[in-house]
C-alpha cells in the first residue's frame, strides 16, 4: 500500500522495525562477516592512523584544547588544521576506557561501517520507493572493496564516521525536500555541522548531494532558503574550529591543502578508468565497475535523469571510488530490479517477476560479493598494482623495534624511516621523523610534494650510497635510520627487501647497527659523521 506525499509522489509506507530489519539483514550480516574476517586476518590495522592518534593524544594532554601544531611529523611538526571532531572522540574513548591505540583503530572503523548501512538503507528506500532496491543497494556498498578500503582500515576512525554523518544528512535532506517535512531541517543542520567537523571530502559530497536534492525536488525560494540554513549554518556552527586554525596559520592553510590530494574536479580520469575496468582486477571489482555503467545507460534511455546526474556528478567532482560506488549502488539496484527483471519476464518463458529477481539478485550478489569482499578484507586480493588489498603498515617486529626506540634513544633524536611504517613511527615512539608526507599537506602543495618525493626516494633505496645521496641532496641529517626487512609497503605498494641494503649499510662507516630483530634494523649515524652523497663518513660541522 502506498501513500501520497506533499510533492504528489508515491513512497513506500514506513513499516515496522521488524520488517525493515528483514530487508536490511543481508547487508548487516555481510558487514558483520567482513568485519570478523578482517579482525581475524589483521592483528594490526591496515594502512595508517598514527598521525590521527597522536592528534588525539595531544588534545587530551592539552585539556581538550585545540593544539596549534603536531610534533614529530617532520622537523618542527605540522600545522594542526584537520577537522577535529573524531580526534576529540578518540581522545575521550582513550581517557574513559584506557583502550590501546592499535585496538581502537582495529575496532572502531568496522563498527561504524556496519552502522552507516542503516541511513543508507533509509535513503535508498525513500528515494527509490522500494525496499528490495534499498536492500540491494546496501548489500552492494557493504561488500564493495572501495568502501572497505577506506572505511574499515585504520584511517576509518575518521572517514567512516564522516560517511555515517553524510549519509544520514543526505537522508534528512531527502525528507526535507521530497516530502516537505520541516522537522528534518534541524537534523540536517546538525548532521552537516558534524560532517564539516569530521572530513572535508565527505562535507563536499554532502553539499553536492544536498544541492541536487534541492534542484530535483524543491527548486523554490523556500527550498533554497532551507539549503542555505543547512549550509551556512553548518559552517558557522563549526566556526570555533576553523577561526582558531586561521588565527594560528592563516586562511592559506586550507587553500594550500586543497590541491594536494586531487582536489575537486579530479574525477575525469576515474570515469575513464571506470569505463575501462581492467581485466586484471578482481571479478568483484569489475562487477561494481560495470553494473553502474549499464544502469546509467538504462536510466538515460528511460529519461530518468536524477540518479544519472548524481552518479556522474560524484564521479566527475571527486574521483573517489568509495563515493561513486555508493551512488552507483542505487543505480545498480534500479537497473536490476526495474530494467533487467521486466525484460526477463517479458522476453523469456521463465515467470521471473520483480520479487523473484530481487531474491535472486540478493542471493547472487550476497554470494559473489561476500566472497569477493572477504578476500579483499583478508588482504588476499591483489590490488594497488598487484599489492595486497588491505596491507598492515606495522607488525609485531615493528612494534618491538619502536618500543626499543622509545626506551633507548634520546627524546630529541631524529629518524628517517623506510616504508609505510613511517606513518605510525612518530606516534609510537614520540620521536621526530624527518621524512614523510603525513600532515604536510597543510603546509601547501610544494612542501607536500617535496616530502612525498623524498619519502618515496628514501624508501626505494637499496644501498647505503643511495640512502646517503638521497638524504644529502635534500640536506636531511638524521641521527638514526630505520629499515624494514623482507616485505613492506610504500604508499600501499608492496616491496620485497633483499639483504643487499642491510649488508651495504653494515659495511658503510657512516652507519652502525644498534637494534635488529626478524623484521627491522635500526642504524645510528656514526658519532661526528654527516651523511654524504657517496655514503662515506664525513666530519661533523
Mean pLDDT for 363-370 is: 74
**Delimiting residues of CATH 3.40.50 domain(s) in the chain:** 396-538
Under 8 Å between Cβ of 365 and 284: no
Say which residue, 57 or 263, is predicted with more confidence.
Answer: 57
Of the candidates 492, 449, 454, 55, the one whose C-alpha atom is nearest the C-alpha of residue 259 is: 449
Q: What is the 3-state secondary structure (H, E, C) of 385-413?
A: CCEECCCECCCHHHHHHHHHHHHHCCCCC
How far is 408 from 521, CA to CA, in rounded Å?
A: 14
Residues 6+ apart with CB under 8 A from 34: 142, 143, 148, 152, 370, 373, 374, 377
Lowest mean pLDDT, pick from 4-18, 24-38, 65-79, 97-111: 4-18
Lowest mean pLDDT, pick from 100-114, 123-137, 268-282: 268-282
pLDDT at 371: 81
Under 8 Å between Cβ of 44 and 218: no
User: What are the angstrom distances between the C-alpha of 359 and each of 19, 209, 284, 292, 338?
Assistant: 16, 30, 19, 19, 14
Please report which confidence band the pLDDT of residue 271 belongs to, taking 50, 70 and 90 as the band edges.
low
When the candidates are 3.30.70, 3.10.50, 3.40.1350, 3.40.50, the CATH number that belongs to 396-538 is 3.40.50
Mean pLDDT for 59-84 is: 95
Cell of 32: 558483520
pLDDT in tens, 471-484: 999 899 999 999 99
pLDDT at 372: 81
Place of cell 563536499: 204
Cell of 121: 538503507
pLDDT at 16: 77
**How far from chain centre, in Å, is Cα 211?**
23
Q: Indicate the average pLDDT of the chain.
A: 87
Amino acid at each position: 500500500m502506498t501513500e501520497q506525499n506533499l510533492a504528489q509522489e508515491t513512497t513506500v509506507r514506513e513499516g515496522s522495525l521488524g520488517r525493515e530489519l528483514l530487508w536490511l539483514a543481508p547487508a548487516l550480516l555481510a558487514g558483520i562477516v567482513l568485519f570478523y574476517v578482517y579482525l581475524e586476518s589483521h592483528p594490526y590495522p591496515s594502512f595508517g592512523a598514527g598521525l590521527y592518534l597522536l592528534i588525539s593524544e595531544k588534545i587530551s594532554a592539552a585539556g581538550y584544547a585545540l593544539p596549534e601544531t603536531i610534533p614529530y611529523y617532520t622537523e618542527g611538526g605540522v600545522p594542526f588544521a584537520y577537522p577535529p571532531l573524531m580526534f576529540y572522540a578518540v581522545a575521550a574513548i582513550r581517557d574513559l576506557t584506557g583502550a590501546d591505540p592499535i585496538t581502537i583503530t582495529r575496532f572502531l572503523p568496522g563498527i561504524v561501517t556496519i552502522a552507516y548501512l542503516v541511513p543508507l538503507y533509509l535513503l535508498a528506500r525513500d528515494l527509490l520507493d522500494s525496499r528490495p532496491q534499498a536492500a540491494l543497494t546496501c548489500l552492494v556498498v557493504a561488500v564493495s572493496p572501495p568502501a572497505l578500503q577506506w572505511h574499515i582500515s585504520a584511517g576509518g576512525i575518521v572517514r567512516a564516521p564522516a560517511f555515517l554523518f553524510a549519509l544520514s544528512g543526505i537522508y534528512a535532506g531527502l525528507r526535507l525536500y521530497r516530502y516537505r517535512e520541516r522537522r528534518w531541517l534541524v537534523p540536517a543542520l546538525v548532521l552537516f555541522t558534524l560532517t564539516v567537523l569530521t572530513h572535508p571530502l565527505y562535507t563536499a559530497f554532502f553539499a553536492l548531494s544536498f544541492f541536487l536534492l534541492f534542484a530535483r525536488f524543491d527548486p523554490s525560494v523556500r527550498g533554497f532558503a532551507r539549503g542555505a540554513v543547512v549550509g551556512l549554518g553548518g559552517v558557522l556552527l563549526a566556526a570555533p574550529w576553523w577561526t582558531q586554525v586561521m588565527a594560528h596559520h592563516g586562511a592559506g592553510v586550507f587553500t594550500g591543502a586543497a590541491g594536494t590530494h586531487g582536489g575537486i574536479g579530479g574525477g575525469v580520469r576515474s570515469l575513464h578508468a571506470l569505463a575501462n575496468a581492467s581485466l586484471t582486477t578482481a571479478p568483484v571489482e569489475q562487477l561494481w565497475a560495470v553494473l553502474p555503467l549499464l544502469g546509467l545507460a538504462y536510466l538515460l534511455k528511460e529519461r530518468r535523469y536524477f540518479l544519472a546526474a548524481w552518479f556522474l556528478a560524484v564521479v566527475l567532482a571527486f574521483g573517489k571510488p568509495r563515493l561513486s560506488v555508493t551512488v552507483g549502488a542505487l543505480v545498480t539496484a534500479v537497473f536490476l530490479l526495474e530494467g533487467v527483471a521486466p525484460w526477463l519476464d517479458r522476453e523469456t518463458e521463465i515467470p521471473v517477476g520483480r520479487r523473484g529477481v530481487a531474491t535472486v539478485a540478493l542471493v547472487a550478489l550476497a554470494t559473489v560479493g561476500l566472497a569477493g569482499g572477504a578476500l579483499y578484507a583478508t588482504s588476499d586480493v591483489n590490488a594497488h598494482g598487484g599489492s595486497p588489498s588491505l596491507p598492515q603498515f606495522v607488525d609485531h617486529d615493528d612494534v618491538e623495534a619502536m618500543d626499543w626506540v622509545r626506551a633507548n634513544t634520546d627524546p630529541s633524536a631524529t629518524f628517517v624511516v623506510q616504508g609505510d611504517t613511517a606513518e605510525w613511527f612518530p606516534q609510537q615512539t614520540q620521536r621526530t621523523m624527518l621524512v614523510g608526507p603525513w600532515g604536510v599537506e597543510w603546509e601547501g602543495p610544494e612542501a607536500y610534494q617535496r616530502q612525498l618525493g623524498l619519502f618515496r626516494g628514501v624508501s626505494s633505496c637499496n644501498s647505503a650510497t643511495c640512502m646517503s645521496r638521497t638524504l644529502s641532496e635534500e640536506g636531511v641529517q638524521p641521527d638514526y635510520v630505520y629499515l624494514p626487512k623482507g616485505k613492506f609497503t610504500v604508499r600501499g605498494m608492496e616491496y620485497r627487501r633483499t639483504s643487499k641494503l642491510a649488508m651495504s649499510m653494515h659495511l658503510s662507516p657512516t652507519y652502525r647497527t644498534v637494534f635488529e630483530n626478524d623484521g627491522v634494523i635500526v642504524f645510528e649515524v656514526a658519532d661526528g659523521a654527516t651523511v654524504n652523497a657517496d655514503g662515506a663518513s664525513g666530519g661533523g660541522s
